[in-house]
């Protein structure tokens, strides 16, 4: 399947992220590049009921301040402003306890590629999710990681990867098809819509 580019192209990772909260017990999330869709979704207790900690790293100060102000009352969320390339701060200790790592950082593909390389090098049992995963540079930057799957029901695509965790590809394929069948342009960014659909069809999708 090949989907045309979504009108709300900053939100196409949302159905994938929400499904992760249904398949896996996600307690600790690290986010490289915060966002009004992803960060708020992770912090939503109806979507990620097991979340204990969300740390995001952002090197765009205006965007960092905007999202930080929205989540300032949530003690689980720890914002970090980075005054250099995101890739320069990534190491094995930072990633060691993360259940899920989400990558949607930087305003250019070269910088994000370096972030992807570092995360793929140092992550172990974490689930790694990359937005805009149809970009050849991002695919190439992640080629050393062991398990990979691309959600292409929406464009931009979303990649899910892991070095050690078997990604249960059959379930991921079902979810990708489900997103293709259930997508509506005016609902892509609607977390309640996707949460409702996953609850309704969860027994079929997640088993």
Its domain, for residue 91, covers 14-201
Q: What is the pLDDT of residue 4?
A: 87
Q: What is the pLDDT of residue 39?
A: 98
| 52-66, 133-147, 160-174: least confidently modelled range | 160-174
- 162 part of a folded domain: yes
Count the domains in the chain: 1
Q: Enter the tokens of residue 132.
A: 């805009």
- Does residue 136 belong to any structural domain of this protein? yes
- Asked if residue 83 is part of any domain, the answer here is yes
Which sign does the torsion angle of CA 142, 144, 145, 147 carry?
positive
| Continuous segment of H or E residues that includes residue 71 | none
* pLDDT number for residue 199: 95
What does the pLDDT average to over 181-188?
Answer: 94
- Above 90 in pLDDT, residue 204? yes
The pLDDT value given to residue 96: 92
Q: Residues 145, 133: contact at Cβ < 8 Å?
A: no
**Three-class SS of residue 169?**
helix
Of the chain, the percentage scoring pLDDT greater than 70 comes to 100
Roughly how many angstroms between the first and final C-alpha of the chain, as a whole number?
A: 23
In a domain, 32, yes or no: yes
58 has a pLDDT exceeding 70: yes
Residues contacting residue 198 through CB under 8 Å, at least 6 positions apart:
18, 19, 22, 205
User: The CATH number of the domain where 30 resides is what?
Assistant: 3.40.50.150
Of the candidates 3, 1, 60, 62, the one whose C-alpha atom is nearest the C-alpha of residue 185 is 3
* Domain-located, residue 1: no
Determine, yes or no, domain membership for 3: no
State percent of the chain over pLDDT 90: 89
Residue 23's H or E segment, with its range, is helix 14-23
Whether 5 is in a domain gets the answer no
Confidence at 166, pLDDT banded by 50, 70, 90: confident
Q: 80-94 pLDDT, tens per residue?
A: 999 999 999 999 999
Across the chain, mean pLDDT equals: 95
Is there a domain that residue 7 lies in?
no
């Amino acid at each position: 399947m090949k989907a045309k580019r979504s009108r709300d192209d900053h939100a196409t990772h949302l159905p994938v992220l929400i499904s992760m909260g249904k398949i896996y017990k996600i307690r600790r999330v690290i986010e490289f590049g915060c966002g009004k869709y992803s960060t708020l979704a992770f912090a939503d207790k109806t979507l990620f009921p097991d979340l204990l900690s969300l740390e995001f790293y952002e090197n765009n100060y205006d965007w960092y301040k905007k999202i930080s102000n929205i989540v300032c009352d949530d003690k689980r969320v720890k914002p970090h402003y980075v005054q250099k390339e995101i890739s320069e701060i990534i190491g094995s200790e930072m990633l060691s306890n993360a259940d899920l790592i989400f990558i949607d950082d930087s305003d250019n593909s070269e910088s994000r590629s370096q972030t992807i390389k570092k995360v793929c090098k140092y992550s172990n049992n974490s689930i790694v999710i990359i937005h805009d995963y149809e970009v050849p540079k991002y695919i190439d930057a992640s080629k050393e990681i062991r398990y990979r799957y691309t959600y292409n029901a929406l464009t931009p695509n979303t990649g899910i990867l892991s070095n050690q965790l078997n990604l249960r590809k059959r379930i991921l394929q079902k979810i990708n098809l489900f997103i293709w069948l259930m997508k509506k342009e005016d609902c892509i960014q609607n977390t309640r819509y996707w949460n409702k659909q996953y609850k309704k069809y969860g027994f079929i999708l997640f088993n």
